[in-house]
Amino acid sequence: MEDLKQVYLDNNATTAVAPEVLEAMLPFFKESYGNPSSTYSFGSRIRDMIDEARARVAASLNAAPEEIVFTSCGTESDNTAISSALQAYPARRHIITTVVEHPAVLNFCRTLEPMGYTVTCLRVDSHGRLDLEAFRGALRDDTAIVSIMYANNETGVVFPIEEIGRIIKDRNTPGGKILFHTDAVQAVGKLPVDLKRLNLDMLSISGHKLHAPKGIGALYIRQGTPFYPYLIGGQQEDGRRSGTENTAYIAGLGKACELAARSLGEEAAYLGRLRDKLEAAILGTCPGAIVNGRTALRLPNTSSISFEYIDGEAILMLLDSCGIYAASGSACSSGSGKPSHVLEAMSVPTSAIHGSVRFSLSRYNDESDIDRLLGILPGIIKKLREISPLSGVSTGK
């Protein structure tokens, strides 16, 4: 059998660990295995290395090192941010988020409703964009926290975090600050994020989306923000996140943030070119294809495409058989058979929503990956349309 080159186009689900990141981690599995809380020098050396990683993460976001707390993942960071705000303002029982958030925010908010909290989930339009006037109108005197994602994992649509921050700031009174958190899991490493410019109180990061390993994340907490830890125990992370530090992974996240910050602009331009080529060719060769959120501001690496009258899972299976890996909807909900809540919120037509595929690129993709996809996908779409009982569109004339 022909040895096919594997083409990985699912980088919003997870990314390959960068070789430089692995190298930064290895000492912690070998000679530098001490516990950073130990007072002897074998431990305090490790503490210094953690602080170095913290400084790297902070620098990549234009934040101060003391504002970074390491966590186990993006989900923990999201849960912690919301839970902390609710503990900080026990009398306030209102939360604002959006219908297109990741389950790490949406499902956490759902667990709060039976406890007496009210959750406003802002809608998006068919391009995936928020209505800022509707947002302004949703703010209430008893709003404790606004949690709105920076960029969507399925479509790549970027929300106007700077403007949202400004609206919150204008609304705040000295005695009534509403906290603003963003899930920036898909944005960090792909877009410049400057925390000195943004009126954000908390921001979530996940390592495995930017070439660090799975199982490490961080939460930015602006200096002066009231904070209540989620995990309670020892004094690690200045008492803000208990549990012996995952030293190797922390070092890995520090390195990954440094690498991403170094090549952000170049990489975004490179990925944007590959993504645009992919979309133009698919729209030109596959009838009945819709690029979701195409006219909105989007991450440069993400393309969500719905193909009318076919099943996205069938497309993925046929791509898989050719060694090409992509996703249908978000990685966490794929396999459920339900249409994506994000595409539903964008009112993607029923005829197309089930035929949705997400391609997400990374620095390790190149032109030849796109060419291989483009050499195969139009044939797959044509074949599936021919056998689809629902097909009402032309089969490719």
CA distance linking residue 141 with residue 89, whole number of Å: 12
Shortest Å, Cβ 15 to ligand PLP:
11
Nearer to ligand PLP, 206 or 292 (CB): 206
Chain positions 267 to 326 lying near ligand PLP, rule: CB under 6 A, are none
The one segment of 69-77, 156-164, 226-234, 295-303 that binds ligand PLP by CB under 6 A: 69-77
Shortest Å, Cβ 217 to ligand PLP:
5
| Residue 186 makes contact with ligand PLP by CB under 6 A | yes
Shortest Å, Cβ 89 to ligand PLP:
24
End-to-end CA distance of the chain: give it in Å, rounded.
32
CA–CA distance from 190 to each of 158, 161, 304, 356 (Å)?
11, 15, 17, 23
Residue with tokens 């992370």: 237
Q: Which class for 121: exposed (0-12), middle (13-18), buried (19 or more C-beta within 10 A)?
A: middle
| Residue 75 makes contact with ligand PLP by CB under 6 A | yes
237 in Cβ contact with 97 (< 8 Å): no
Q: Which class for 367: exposed (0-12), middle (13-18), buried (19 or more C-beta within 10 A)?
A: exposed
Binding-residue total with ligand PLP (CB under 6 A) = 16
CA distance linking residue 42 with residue 18, whole number of Å: 27
| Residue 217 makes contact with ligand PLP by CB under 6 A | yes
Tokens of 82: 């919301």
Q: Which residue is nearest to ligand PLP (CB)?
A: 74
Strands of 13-107, DSSP E: 68-71, 94-98
Chain positions 103 to 122 lying near ligand PLP, rule: CB under 6 A, are 104
| Residue 331 makes contact with ligand PLP by CB under 6 A | yes
Residue 365 backbone dihedrals phi, psi, to 5 degrees = -90, 155
Which residue of 80, 153, 225, 246 would you call a contact of ligand PLP, by CB under 6 A? Answer: 153
- Which positions are annotated as active-site residues? 332
Nearer to ligand PLP, 153 or 225 (CB): 153
| Residue 74 makes contact with ligand PLP by CB under 6 A | yes
The binding site for ligand PLP (CB under 6 A) comprises 73-75, 78, 102, 104, 149, 153, 183, 185-186, 206, 208, 217, 331-332
